[in-house]
Structure formats: C-alpha cells, structure tokens
Structure 1
Amino acid sequence: MTRVLLTGFGPFDNQSVNASWQAVRGVAQVWDAVARDADLVIRELPVSFRRAPTVLEAAIVDLRPDVVVCVGEAGGRASVGVERLAVNLVDARIADVDDASPVDVPVVAGAAVAHWSTLPVKACVEAVRAAGVGAEVSMSAGTYVCNATFFALMHALRTEPAVRAGFVHVPRLPEQVGAGAPSLGADDAVAALLAVLHAALTVGEDLRVSAGSLS
C-alpha cells in the first residue's frame, strides 16, 4: 500500500503551538475516513537547523514513503503556499530552538544551489482552492528552518525520482495572531493539506497553467 509521510513543526519563537503541527494532527485524525488506499504516518520536527533534517531523513530511511509532504507555519501569510523551490542557503533572522542562528551558510555544503519540489505544485494549489481555501504557488520558502528542511528533504531524495516530495506553508492560527492579522482556521488548514495529499497521490502530470508573477 502507498505510504505517505506528513510532517509538521513544534512551537518556536515564543509561540505555544505551531499551526503546521496542529494541521498535521488534524489530518491524521480524519485520514482513515477519507483515504483508505494509503497509509499515513506523521512526525513532528523540531524548529532546529541541525535536528529537523536529521529526524526527517531518519523517518524516510525507516518508512520508505512514496509521498513526503513537510508542512511549516508562515507568519504574515493569509493563504496556503505550496512551495516550488528549495534553496541551499541558511540566513536566520531569529535563533532556532537550539539557540542557533547561522547566517549565509549552505544547508548542505557542496550540494546544488537549489532543488525543485517533485509534487504537482500547480495541481496541489488548484485542489486547495477547490476545497474552498486560498492558496498560491510560492517561489520562496524563506531562509529559515522551513527552507532548510525542504532543501534537506529534496537533497536526500535526489536519487529517488519515484518519491514525490515537497513543502507546504500554512498561515498561523487565529489564536496566534492579533485581530486583523493574516491567519487560517484549523479546519481550513486540514482541508488544504488533505487536498494537497490527494493531488500528490492522484495527479500524474502537473497542470500547464501560469502561476508566475512580475516581481
């Protein structure tokens, strides 16, 4: 049976929760009712430049999944972002949970400058929108732990073309932000991730539609 690995992050930056892990747990709670043809395994990653890739890569070796989707929290975003490109760069604005704040260093020394997601990114975005949740193709996962984890994921799977993998950002929960700030309800985040996973499992070739920008 097809196996899906879905990861989220633990709390960081003085937050008591992380929207990504809340959403991942929500997906796990309903998975058996909506997807009987695939096994789902979830893992929580620490917001750590050093430990998140290690935990993720160990899970990949142990589980040998067919699909891997890592999920992160994006403060300031109002819609779900399906990431297209991971870059081999760390430039930390704040320290991680291990109090590390590396600046201008590679995620993996000597590796490629960047790796593309192998998810059907545009089809994933359309699936999320069809579920009634705002979504966009994102060309930047930032330069913090999310991007570092995304790059480490794609680097680890660079010789495994049959495995579909990528990264999704969800906005913070309403209870994490002030009134009027961008956020996304927990139920909508769960619906968005279910839509992404369904597209990853069922779509062959990605959609040929424009998702570009002028800036």
Structure 2
Amino acid sequence: MILLTGFEPFGGDEVNSSWLAALRAQDILRAEGLAVESVELPCVFGESAVVLEAAMARLRPDVVVCIGLAGGRERVSLERVAINCDDARIPDNKGQRPIDQEVIDGGPAAYFSSLPIKAALRNLQIAGIKGEVSQSAGTYVCNHVFYALMHSLASRPGVLGGFVHVPYLPEHLPAGSTAPSLSLESMAEGIAVIVRTALQPQGDIKISAGTIH
C-alpha cells in the first residue's frame, strides 16, 4: 500500500497544487496496478500530524510520500531532512503561529528521509522532469508533517517515507506573475517516479546533489 498526502489551500490561495498532484499521481499509479490512497491534510500545526498518523494506522502503508507546495521553486524537490522546529512566518489555517517550538517535545534534532532520494532524482532526470534534492523543508506545516512522519516511521521498520515539495501550477498563478511553475502532469508523473523508485529493491545511489549555500 502506498500513501500519498497533499495539503488543503493556505495563505489565501484557492487551490494547493500538492493535493491536485497527489490525486493525479494516485490515478497514474492505480492504472499500473498499485494500491494507492491519497489523503488531504489540513494546513494546521498539530492537526495535520494527527490526520497523517490516523491514515497510516488505517492503511498500514509500505511507502509514504507527503507532498507540499513551495511557491517560488521551479522543480520537484526531494526533501533530505526534517528538523524538530516549528517557526511560522504566517499563521496556519486555524490562526496558530508557533515560534521556536519543537514538533515533538524532546525528539531528535532531525530525521533524514528514508526515500531513495538520489535514485529518485536520477530517475526524474531520465524522465525529463525537473527535480532537485532540497536541504530544507522550511519550518512551516510542511516540515512539521515531514518530521512527524519520520518520527512515526522510526517505530515502523521497513516502511519508507519522506517529503516532496512541488511548485505552483501555471494556471493558478496571479495574472502577470513571473513565479516559477510546473504542469500538473509533470508534478504527478514526478511523484509517480519517486514512488516507483522507492518500490525498487536496490535502494539509493551515490550521486552529487548537494549545494554550496
């Protein structure tokens, strides 16, 4: 079983490309005979992690890919590390704005994704989809979910999981905006590539995907 998650709209947006990408990727993977479920998470600190945990308890997935929107990025971003820090620049959808709070009280400082992110990056490149390894998932609800996911998976050996950021959809950019965007089909196929890579037995590979700053 594969679990995909995306977020509800936030910050005044009418749609969230992460949820649309999750739904479309679900269709692609189901057409290949895979068991896939998608769950929409609230853009709310705390509540989002509770909904995710309930979905994992119900579905007992083998692979979990959580997806979020990173407006301003132009590529499918494979997040490497989740940090134990909530530091919100804007309120969440219930008005919460935690500053310098731990996601999990007393938890480790950070967790690394258990997805084969380098192999997935190579496969995105082969598929002609813009991809990158990102070194920061931020400190908003996306990182909150990513950290909560990896903390939960620490007690679920054998289950792979991680977080992926996607750009804006071109049709949802404000008129005149020059922000980067990516088509829904490219986003969804990118998510499908990541899932297929995670299901392969060989694990990750060593290729350079770091940054200088």
Task: Bin the TM-score by the shorter chain.
Answer: over 0.9
User: What is the RMSD computed on CA atoms of the aligned residues?
Assistant: 1.1
Q: Find the aligned partners of 1:173 and 1:203 in 2 and give their Cα distance.
A: 33
Q: Residue 91 of structure 1 aligns with which residue?
A: 87
- Is 1:58 the equivalent of 2:54? yes
Show the 5 A alignment for 1:23-42: 23-33=21-31, 35-36=32-33, 38-42=34-38
Q: What are the Cα deviations for residues 17-56 of structure 1, in whole angstroms up to 9, with x where unaligned?
A: 00000101111223222x22x3101100010112100000
Q: Residue 102 of structure 1 aligns with which residue?
A: 98
Q: Residue 194 of structure 1 aligns with which residue?
A: 192
Q: Find the aligned partners of 2:28 and 2:163 in 1 and give their Cα distance.
A: 21
- Is 1:116 the equivalent of 2:142? no
Q: Residue 158 of structure 1 aligns with which residue?
A: 154
For structure 2, list consecutive stretches of 5 or more residues without a partner in the other structure: none
Aligned length: 211
CA contact (8 A) 2:17 2:168 kept: yes
AA in 2 matched with 1:170: V
AA in 1 matched with 2:198: A
Q: Find the aligned partners of 1:131 and 1:54 in 2 and give their Cα distance.
A: 35
Q: Residue 135 of structure 2 aligns with which residue?
A: 139
Q: Residue 3 of structure 2 aligns with which residue?
A: 5
Match of 2:67 among 64, 71, 78: 71
Shift of 1:203: 4.5
CA contact (8 A) 1:120 1:203 kept: no
AA in 2 matched with 1:114: A
- Which deviates further from its counterpart, 123-132 or 56-65? 123-132
Shift of 1:214: 1.6
CA contact (8 A) 2:28 2:192 kept: no
Q: Residue 171 of structure 2 aligns with which residue?
A: 175
Give the TM-score of the pair, scaled to structure 1.
Answer: 0.95
Question: Aligned residues: percent identity?
Answer: 45
AA in 1 matched with 2:136: S
AA in 1 matched with 2:206: R
Q: Find the aligned partners of 2:157 and 2:191 in 1 and give their Cα distance.
A: 22
Tell me the SS of whatever aligns to 2:189: helix
CA contact (8 A) 1:123 1:203 kept: no
Q: Find the aligned partners of 1:203 and 1:69 in 2 and give their Cα distance.
A: 17
For structure 1, list consecutive stretches of 5 or more residues without a partner in the other structure: none
